[in-house]
Amino acid sequence: MGIDRRGAAFEPTPSYLHQKIVLNFLVLLDAAARRSRGGWEVLPDLGVRLSDTSVPVPDVLIRPDKFIDGRDCDDMIVAFEVLSPSTAKRDLRWKRTAYASLPTLRQYVIVAQDAVDILGFDREAGAGAFSERRFMPGDEELDLPPIGVRASLSEIYRGLGLAGA
């Protein structure tokens, strides 16, 4: 959250790099969803209802492919956050803890925008704790077991000009 010249609070506009990564995920995952017909969909900026007062909005999410009437869901399977300087602490701490309270969440993926560096938190169905995995240059793919997809790191970071992508 930022403060403008008049002292009013506002959400900072995402950077170009942030939005390119979000777009790359949407393109890759939408194509995979269409190929797999696995009963899931990929969406940007949809709220996730965690409680009556908590509805965080991940950059990209995967949920069952079924219609919902409204602005939020409570059945997210995978959440993706692209780190920004203004949201990094919140994404790494608060959102990770908050999303863990959602029983349907199987994977939380945090993506750096200034380097090829992805942190994944995975949870087996029915398990409580998440295990942590890191994907960096030298790793060819990000593994997304809950949906049976492997996403190329070079495609995730396509068009950003980062070393190792």
Domains of the chain: residue spans and CATH: 9-156 (3.90.1570.10)
Does the structure show a pLDDT above 70 at 5?
Answer: no
| Per-residue model confidence (pLDDT) at position 133 | 93
The Cβ of residue 64 has, within 10 Å, a number of other Cβ atoms equal to 14
Residue 18: closest CA among 26, 30, 29: 26
Task: Give the CA radius of gyration of the chain.
Answer: 16
Query: What does the pLDDT average to over 80-100?
Result: 86
Tell me the C-alpha distance between 128 and 123, whole Å.
Answer: 7
Query: What does the pLDDT average to over 115-144?
Result: 87
C-alpha dist (Å) from residue 71 to 41, 48, 65, 89: 15, 9, 15, 25
Query: What does the pLDDT average to over 46-72?
Result: 94
